[in-house]
Amino acid sequence: MADIINVLPDSVANQIAAGEVIQRPASVLKELVENAVDAGATQIDVVIKQAGRILIQVRDNGCGMSETDARLCFERHATSKIKSADDLFRLHTKGFRGEALASIAAIAHVELRTRQANSEVGTCIVLEGSLCKEQSPCSCEAGTSFSVKNLFYNVPARRNFLKSDTVEFGHIHEEFLRIALIHSDVDFKLYQNDKLEYNLPKSTLKQRLVNVFGKNYEERLMPIEQETDVVRIHGFIGKPNAARKTRGEQYLFVNKRFIKHNYFHHAIASAFEEVIPEKHFPSYFVYFEVDTEMIDVNIHPTKTEVKFQDERLIYSFLHSTVKRSIGMFHLGSNIDFDDISPIDFGAISSRNIPREPLTSTNSDYNPFEKSKSNPSAAYSSGNTVKVNESWRQIYESIQENTPVEYLETQGVITPLQEMEEPTVSLKPSIFQTINRYIVAKIKSGFVVIDPEAAFERILYERFLKNLNDTPSGSQKLLFPETLNFAPQNGDLVRDLLVEFKKLGFDLEEFGQNTFILNGIPLGFEEQDIQQNIEQILESYKNNLISLKISKKNNIAHSFARSIGRRRSKLFSEEEMQLLLSELFSTSSPQLSPSGKKICITFNEMELKRMFM
């Protein structure tokens, strides 16, 4: 029997490969501009004629190529960017497959001019359908210029499949922006049919967005910022009131690479859910920086899908970071959005440390104690708490005495001071309603606070502090209590004994799953301690499954949640003021650690609109 298998000639193999890599003119632009970025260019000029059908030219001032490399770069699997399979997990470049130029050369007329800065002459190469027609020395600028003409001249099916110039230029435009938006340190120009379409000088990321999308983006954007062990998330989201019915600009980048990621999109979109009208879309420009080993960019030939390790964790960071920025937006326009501090439960980041004021608080003071507290005690001595400047402004505006007489006279609310001070002239600026929520006047309207969620936040930060550096005091029990746990919980308590002690639970092991409780945290109620601790353990175990957080964070979270939840009661005005002052000196007064809203603001404008 005759043999029937042939090995395809390179030109045919390249043409087949081109089918995957080069779908339309925009794909050529993407590959060439990415190569220019990889070559370290600081200036990239793009020239497009007839939506790329006639010409796509990309000129850069990058490293250029030697004579040999200029020839080699059109070979399949010719790349300077990776050497071994291991390098696939340490990608710092856009390209790495070494097939783009081979593919382009197979289906177009290509001219390359390139020169390395340290050589006097450059190289010029002309190719047609993978065949080298001409190679000669030439004089040219240092850097590289690729001209791709008559795309798909030898693949009529592809050529006929191209859409109108408007549609094709739309794709070019999009690919160009996906690179230009993230590489704001590169000067980009894009000419279309001799018209300078974009002129983007080197700038900051935000300025690049403004240069591309227009001056009003200056106003529309607010920053987000979050840094954790696994990821740094930063960027900008559109303010809720800038959401539009058309799908907004939605861009995700990881390590300076544009990506599509439905799951992360959901994290952002759902954070906007309650604050923008239905069928409106938020804009966002979110940049992730992660260890290159944490992502796999290799799963899709055109490389916009990227797989992350720890996706769930990043999802929750992203969601809460966006939520927080939205919350800040709603809390009032007096916040300087250029100066938000990341959600950082440990320390406030150094660039946000306010110069003043420093409020002294008494670390022993416990607002949850049943006995009536002496509010001034909280300010008298003890530790110094750095108050986040923005929140301080809000807090100060809460202090302004503005009457709520109308509500009082209507019997809608009962000022707490009424019993002691029967005159209405007191004009309280803070009161409690529906036996739970605290309402306080702020400059632009009023804020409603859920004390349970507020306590959760305050306790969380306090417990973290107890665990990290200043252990809580403990009150000795007159009659030490014996606690018996199921074996699994017993093991857990044994594991957490040190941490329990730091929070003020003086527990001592007493045989198998039995422990003796000698002391409890100051202010902690003595009833149902066993049940309380079991609830805390349950929450701790749940967190182990659902949230990947550190042991300390988990403990603080579980304690704050279990204890905070049962702290709703009627407060005196002093207690409320104190609660607010404590809340607004936490790092995130807007959201509780378990993601519950702490406060909702109503501004005058919104109220008026509601009555229209």
Residues that bind Mg ion (CB under 5 A): 35, 95, 100
Q: Which two tokens stand for residue 63?
A: 């490293």
Q: Which of residues 179-218 bind ligand ADP (CB under 6 A)?
A: none
Instruction: Considering only residues 100 through 119, tell me which ones interact with ligand ADP, judged by CB under 6 A.
Output: 100-101
**Site map 135..174 versus ligand ADP, x via CB under 6 A:** ---------x------------------------------
Smallest gap, in angstroms, from Cβ of residue 34 to ligand ADP? 7
Binding-site size, ligand ADP (CB under 6 A): 22
- Binders of ligand ADP in range 14-43 (CB under 6 A): 31, 35-36, 39
Q: Are 202 and 185 in contact (CB under 8 A)?
A: yes
Kindly compute the dihedral angle of the four CA atoms of residues 247, 252, 257, 261, in this order, to the nearest 10 degrees.
-90
What the block records as the tokens of 368 is 């949850």
Residues 410, 429: Cα–Cα separation, whole Å: 17
Report what 450 binds from Mg ion, ligand ADP, none; CB cut-off 5-8 Å by kind: none
**254 in contact with ligand ADP (CB under 6 A):** no
Instruction: Report how far residue 606's alpha carbon sits from residue 43's, in angstroms, rounded to the nearest whole number.
Output: 47
Nearer to ligand ADP, 58 or 560 (CB): 58
Select from 19, 98, 170, 403 the one that contacts ligand ADP (CB under 6 A). 98
Stretch that binds ligand ADP, among 96-104, 279-287, 306-314, 394-402 (CB under 6 A): 96-104
Residue nearest to ligand ADP (CB): 95
Q: Which does 65 bind (CB under 5 to 8 A by kind): Mg ion, ligand ADP, none?
A: ligand ADP
CA 562, chain centre distance (Å): 28
* Sign, Cα dihedral of 545, 550, 556, 560: negative
Residue 74 CB, nearest distance to ligand ADP (Å)? 8
| CA-wise closest residue to 46 among 64, 25, 22 | 25
Smallest separation (angstroms) from Mg ion to the CB of 114:
14
Q: How many residues does the chain have?
A: 612
573-583 helix and 451-468 helix, angle to the nearest 10 degrees: 60
| 97 vs 596, beta carbon nearer ligand ADP | 97
Of 103 and 283, which has the nearer Cβ to ligand ADP?
103
Smaller CB separation from ligand ADP, 88 or 605: 88
Q: Which is nearer to ligand ADP, 39 or 449 (CB)?
A: 39
Q: Which long-range contacts does 303-310 make (Cβ < 8 Å, 24+ apart)?
A: 303/257, 304/258, 304/259, 304/260, 305/259, 305/260, 305/261, 306/254, 306/257, 306/259, 306/261, 308/254, 308/261, 310/230, 310/231, 310/548
Q: How far is the CB of 561 from ligand ADP (least distance, A)?
A: 50
Closer to Mg ion by Cβ: residue 35 or 594:
35
Least distance (Å) from Mg ion to the CB of residue 105? 13
Q: What contacts 133, CB < 8 A, 6 or more positions away?
A: 126, 127
By beta-carbon proximity to ligand ADP, the closer residue of 78 and 377 is 78
Q: Do residues 546 and 457 make contact, with C-beta atoms less than 8 angstroms apart?
A: no
The CA distance from 462 to 460, in Å, is 5
Nearest to 304 by CA among 273, 271, 265: 265
Interface residues toward ligand ADP, by CB under 6 A? 31, 35-36, 39, 60, 62-65, 73, 78-81, 95-101, 144
